[in-house]
Amino acid sequence: MSASVLFMSMSLDGFIADPADRLGGSDGNRLHHWLLTDDGEGFRSDEPAAGLLAEYTASGAIVAGRRTVEIVDHWGGDHHGMPIFVPSHRPPGPSVADMPLVTYVSDGIASAMAQAKAAAGDRDVLVHGGYTARRALEAGVLDELGILQIPVLLGRGRRLFDELPAEIELDIVRVVDTPEATHLRYRVRR
């Protein structure tokens, strides 16, 4: 069955971006070193990075937070060909008019997730963004968490997790130990 899966790189101290919305380090990409070639220009083709990227691009739709998509201007409207759903109460900016795969959803995270699941069919829905992840957890519409935990303390920035209204139990689905990142996969217990 199709699952909604958060996919984020996070420092050990819980940050997903530095205060300038960069990914840390001198090149601004510290949290994505596990995924990038040494020159930072392309994606790695060796395992386990390549396998994870393949898993990721085999998803059927994305639900991503407005802050996240606006930082990259909606990936230019094409993120591995997947339809992109953005929960937001405000209308989209002008660039979105030329992006047929991007849909702004104004009636909440549960609606955005339902539309994304319908678009994804039997494939998974990728979820990006800290705020969006927390709202999806609160609304009970996040099924799994895929955390790429990076062996660095960024020391400051934007956190993936912040306050939630209740404790949420998880089951550990998979742990992959690599020198550059610990790949943690959890299922939300209902």
Among 13, 27, 73, 98, interactor with a copy of itself by CB under 8 A: 13
Using rule CB under 8 A, residue 153 touches a copy of itself:
yes
Using rule CB under 8 A, residue 38 touches a copy of itself:
no
Among 38, 97, 163, 190, interactor with a copy of itself by CB under 8 A: 163
| Whether residue 87 has a cis bond before it, omega within 30° of 0 | no
Using rule CB under 8 A, residue 170 touches a copy of itself:
yes
Q: Is the dihedral of CA 111, 169, 35, 50 positive or negative?
A: negative
Give the residue among 134, 133, 129, 62 at the shortest CA–CA distance from 99.
62
Judged by CB under 8 A, the chain residues 118 through 147 that form the site for a copy of itself are 137, 145, 147
Judged by CB under 8 A, the chain residues 101 through 120 that form the site for a copy of itself are none
Instruction: Report strand pairing: 144-150 vs 125-128.
Output: unpaired
Closer CB to a copy of itself, residue 82 or residue 150? 150
Q: What is the DSSP letter of 143?
A: -
Q: Is the dihedral of CA 33, 35, 36, 38 positive or negative?
A: positive
Could you give the angle at which helices 130-139 and 109-120 cross, rounded to 10 degrees? 90
Minimum separation from the CB atom of position 39 to a copy of itself (A): 20
- Which residues are near a copy of itself by CB under 8 A? 12-14, 24-25, 30, 137, 145, 147, 149, 151-156, 159-172, 175, 177, 179, 182, 184, 186
